[in-house]
Amino acid sequence: MPNYKTEDIRNIAFVGHTGCGKTTLVEALLEKTGTIGEAGTVERGNTVTDHDPLEHQYQHSLDSAIASFDFEGTHVNLIDTAGFPDFRGPTLASMAAAETSAVVINAQNGIELSTRRLMRRAKRRRLCRMIIINRIDADELDLAGLVEQIRDEFGQECLPINLPAENASTVRDCFFHTEGETDIFSLKEAHDAIIDQVVEVNDELMMKFLDGEELSRDELHTAYEQALREGHLVPICFTSAKTGAGLGEFLKLCKRLMPNPAEGNPPPFLKGADGDPVKSSPDPDAHVLAHVFKISNDPFVGKLGIFRIYQGTVTSNTQLFIGDERKPFKVSHLFGIQGGTHEEVDAGIPGDICAVAKVDDIHYDAVLHDSHDEDNYRMKPLDFPQPMFGLAVQTKTRGQEQKLSTALTRLSEEDPCFVVEHNQELNETIMRGLGELHMRVMLERMKEKYHVEVDTRPPRIAYRETIT
């Protein structure tokens, strides 16, 4: 069994526009917690979460990846996601595995297109949200102005929970503290503003606050969690992955205040054709209930189904059903994920992110369970963008049609927004995605990973005669 409990777990998805520093921030946190000896860089191609050779080539994340660390008894799973809009399929799928969506903003660039889109998505999915203003070490920043822009764009519930100080070389907490010099705003005023926002969700606490009574940390924590769940508060924190400013405060924030799997909004499981909502309980002794949010075809261990456990305990002897299948599969090996590496673990508990290998029938969005009581369960569908950019593909070398079919199948398993069609009338194989970059990366993966080269052309249109 893990050396932590469900209440010790934090699942946080780092999302944001490309170039905001998500991967570098994950790397800095792994180094800060002693998980890795030295932080890698995107430029050198040696970060934990950008492990794909194409990510090294593009120097950008092209897929989501998980990185975990422990901090003062808290087990944190960070999901690093791609910022390019073309790869938002895996990004949106991975957000569903977290209680908290941390929207990272580049302090130099401010609010960008994907910032707005991802904030809306997280709100619609009822995820707890937080905003990380990263790269606060850059020159000529107007951080106070950026905070006001954020509040104007996303609501007055967006409030700083810490503030940069000493020319952005450090960050000071303003949730539990009221005194200290900062670069922007007054620490006391920022403290009063966020506490006032938090206690609004509890009339009794509000009366105590207005009467000047001291509020205990437990009282504040309970109200804070409620405010996050209800979208009544979106905390803003400040970091610099480059200098390390704010990393310690972020870790303390994760431990003290961010929701564990029992405190976030419950996952939207549905049952039956009518889609009746189903409650799950983060109870390790209950029936297993898990959701596959990512598929990865690994050249060494084969097909990996990566899932988040919501209920029950999964071990290396657990028998699991996939959806409504009548025949279970046995979990022969259970893996924990760290970037591109997989380490065998004894068990997974509610809140854990684990993986199983070489299970042919496992697929994205599958619900895994160990009892027929959970037959017909499914997760509320995500509203993925429609893949509209199409290319017809044909192998350059005759006789490689089966290799092409295998490659396209595996690539479509990994990305919910990459689909493959066969037009029987025109005898064309067509792959569709979200844009030119999406298609280019898929073609490069096909060549490098599956050793298939193809010719491409725009899909043909089947013209039909009409009587006029």
Same-domain check for residues 215 and 318: no
Same-domain check for residues 366 and 405: no
The predicted pLDDT at position 271 comes to 92
The predicted pLDDT at position 400 comes to 92
Measured CA to CA, the distance from residue 91 to residue 13 in angstroms comes to 9
Same-domain check for residues 146 and 37: yes
Domain contains 212: yes
The predicted pLDDT at position 301 comes to 82
Same-domain check for residues 252 and 284: no
Backbone angles phi, psi at 67, to 5 degrees: -135, 135
DSSP lists the bridge partners of residue 132 as: 104, 237
How many structural domains does the chain have?
A: 3
The predicted pLDDT at position 461 comes to 84
User: What's the pTM?
Assistant: 0.95
**CB within 8 A of 142, min separation 6: which ones?**
none
Task: State the CATH number of the domain containing residue 417.
Answer: 3.30.70.870
Answer whether 417's CB lies under 8 Å from 464's CB. no
Same-domain check for residues 167 and 25: yes
- Per DSSP, helices labelled H in 2-142 are 22-32, 53-58, 88-95, 113-124
Same-domain check for residues 245 and 320: no
Domain contains 61: yes
Same-domain check for residues 375 and 411: no
Q: Which of 379, 414, 449 is the last residue of a domain?
A: 379
Same-domain check for residues 138 and 108: yes
The predicted pLDDT at position 468 comes to 66
Same-domain check for residues 352 and 421: no
The predicted pLDDT at position 214 comes to 85
The predicted pLDDT at position 412 comes to 97
Measured CA to CA, the distance from residue 368 to residue 320 in angstroms comes to 6
Measured CA to CA, the distance from residue 62 to residue 98 in angstroms comes to 19
Domain contains 142: yes
Measured CA to CA, the distance from residue 105 to residue 456 in angstroms comes to 37
Tens of pLDDT, residue by residue, the chain (468 residues):
788 999 999 999 999 999 999 999 999 999 999 999 999 999 999 999 999 999 999 999 999 999 999 999 999 999 999 999 999 999 999 999 999 999 999 999 999 999 999 999 999 999 999 999 999 999 999 999 999 999 999 999 999 999 999 999 999 999 999 999 999 999 999 999 999 999 999 999 999 988 888 888 888 999 999 999 999 999 999 999 999 999 999 999 999 999 999 999 989 999 987 788 998 999 999 999 999 999 999 877 889 999 999 999 999 999 999 999 989 999 999 999 999 999 999 999 999 999 999 999 999 999 999 999 888 999 999 999 999 999 999 999 888 999 999 999 999 999 999 999 999 888 899 999 999 999 999 999 999 999 999 999 999 887 776 776
Domain contains 231: yes
Backbone angles phi, psi at 5, to 5 degrees: -110, 170
The predicted pLDDT at position 404 comes to 96
Same-domain check for residues 314 and 450: no
What is the helix, strand, coil percentage profile of the chain, to 5? 30, 30, 45
Measured CA to CA, the distance from residue 16 to residue 433 in angstroms comes to 20
Task: State the CATH number of the domain containing residue 316.
Answer: 2.40.30.10
Cβ neighbours around 138 below 10 Å, total: 15
Domain contains 465: no
Q: How far is CA 247 from CA 220, 240, 244, 439, in A?
A: 22, 7, 6, 36
Judging by beta carbons within 10 Å of its beta carbon (0-12, 13-18, 19+), is residue 86 exposed, middle or buried? buried
Same-domain check for residues 433 and 452: yes
Range of the domain at 347: 277-379
DSSP lists the bridge partners of residue 9 as: 75
The predicted pLDDT at position 2 comes to 85
Domain contains 265: no
The predicted pLDDT at position 67 comes to 98
Domain contains 384: no
Measured CA to CA, the distance from residue 389 to residue 283 in angstroms comes to 44
- 3-class secondary structure, 105: strand
DSSP 372: G
